[in-house]
Amino acid sequence: MAQPGFFQRQANARRNTGLLVLLFVTAVTLITLAVCLLGYYLTRSETSGQPFHDWLLSGHGLITAATVVALIGMSSLIRWVDLAGGGSRVAKMVGARPIDPATRDPDERKLRNIAEEMAIASGIPVPELYMMDNETGINAFVAGYTPGSAAMVVTHGAITQLTRDELQGVVGHEFSHILNGDMRLNVRLIALLAGILMIGQIGSFLLQSAFYSSGRIRARNRNNNAEVAFGVLGIALFVIGYVGVFSGRLIQAAVSRQRESLADASSVQFTRNPEGIGGALFKIAAQSSHLESTGHASNMNHMCFGEAVPMKLAGLLASHPPIDKRINAIQPGLLTRLKSRARNATPAPDRQGQQSTTAYQPTAASGIAGATPGSGHRFADQVGTASTAGEDFAISLLEQLPASFRSLLYARTGAVQLCYALLINHLSDGEQQAHLSQLPAHPLTGPQPDLLAKLVPTLNSLGETIRFPALELAMPALRQLDPHERRTLMTNVQTLVAADNRVSLFELALTSFLSRHLGAGAERVVPVRHRSYKTAMPALQALLSLMTRAGSATGHEADTLYQEAMAGFGDHKNSQYPIRAKVSMRELQAALKTLNGLSPLLKPAVIDACGHCITHDGVINAREYELMRLVADQMDCPMPPVMV
């Protein structure tokens, strides 16, 4: 059975949010009724045999129910606000440390190389990488609200015990969660579980307090009846809390199992190596994936590669399918081969020092691998995937980058200078100096001539196709800038863009990219505002007018192409939305912002219409690619490399 595409998975993730809310409300209702039942029996002398349903509607019952709902709601809200910081906040919550982009540790560099290859091949910024140093089990998870703000956390056991192929399989699994919209649901589930588990935590606190107090009072031979009652109440609430624990585990299992199976399959699709992820799962079965160093392991079980805690009633409550079933689902017979290999003590081939076994070696200067003009593939089908050619291009690109150039992208100062170099590398030396002189001096955000002298020649030698991949490699360092430094960087970029009194498509793409991923609302999820094309037609008119003119040699050709592109968006009269003679950059940005508010299932047609405009003549030039990349990025549609 074919896997659902990126946009269908995005729509499914949004629907799962509704399912999550329904399950949460059900769990809260059960917990509230259990606490009210306890309150009913504790106040029987006051109710004089009053039936439970009457007591529930009385003052005592309503106050009890309202208190329980308020406690659960406040606990979830507090955790929800706490996790508003996105993936980095979740990583810090579990005690993970950020991996230095310029790390020299071989295992950490192995992880970074794999993550960079995957990011370039799938068209998203490199996620922030974190390490759980005290965890010897094999596990990993990703967290965040958008693909551009994702954080990937791996255990020390994962990077030290897995071969490169196996680690690549795990990273591919986690990239699937990034691309499928699972991260947002996972983070929200952490917040909801915090509320569900609150009653049990209160009971545990009361129970411990009662035993501590009664011990002190017994030592002084005083009456401890009140403390005994206090302890009984704590025990009752603690037991009721298990209703919340059970409900939480059921919710985790309900929203997680199918997505884990999909992520396993996507990992194979990304890496083209079923034995990679299969071997990682086999090692988990033989060893462990449990998280021991954090008290949040139970709440995060649903978002980890393997079970983070021992699970009773595993068949009912486990967030992941059984390991054997996961391995056999990846490839029939794989489990048998792995067991045979383990018995014979013959290790699987480890391509630790290799990056690819394919013979395909494109040059970055000649083009970008991926979907090609006239290939018959819809552009929308490529979104949210990592193709074979795209992966090979990423590997080849990283091999061609000089070590000095690549190391600069891992430091904040070097990443900032890259943004400036991308805007001036095509200018003469005199023009470069004139433009840079407009920027204020600053140790970090000011121009650094010595660093620019290392960046500009490489950009010129490798060509235009290096520009977006270089930005993606620099994103972890750029995310380390504080809010003031980010604002200064974007102000300086705008100054360089305005220096020649014109804005090119790449300059627009660069400023939009930085604003989308470093701006104040970078981690916010764009809500669905348009469930039909009717309300977004002016935005489509502006976008497709620009796309058709960019992809056509004559006005007549542009008119024909525009009619073809607009044909898929309803029976609108040509006179109502005619092709526009000119579209300003500000109008294009506004149009893309509107189109990002489309329902996920409406976005494929927009991507395909744009793809039709730039491929109708069988050629994609650099200008058309930059425009296509701008559209995809601003609509939160990760676009793998395409042939230029």
Task: Please give the positions annotated as active site.
Answer: 174
Amino acid at 258: Q
Q: What angle do CA 313, 180, 587 make, to 5 degrees?
A: 150
Number of other residues whose CB lies within 10 A of the CB of residue 609: 24
Taking each helix axis as running N to C, give the angle between helix 106-122 and helix 225-271, from 0 to 180 degrees, rounded to the nearest 10. Answer: 70
- Is the torsion defined by CA of 412, 179, 133, 107 positive or negative? negative
Cα separation, 43 vs 47, in Å, equals 6
d(CA 148, CA 475): 9
Rounded CA gap, 591 and 635, in Å? 10
Rounded Cα gap, residues 138 and 157, in angstroms: 5
Question: Cβ–Cβ contacts within 10 Å for residue 312, how many?
Answer: 9
The length of the chain, given as a count of residues: 644
SS (H, E, C) 172-225: HHHHHHHHHCHHHHHHHHHHHHHHHCHHHHHHHHHHHHHHHHHHHHHHCCCCCH
The token pair at 275 is: 């034995």
In this structure, what token pair is assigned to residue 443?
């140790």
User: Mind giving me the DSSP string for 96-124?
Assistant: -EEPPTT---HHHHHHHHHHHHHHHHHTS
- DSSP-assigned letter for residue 438: T
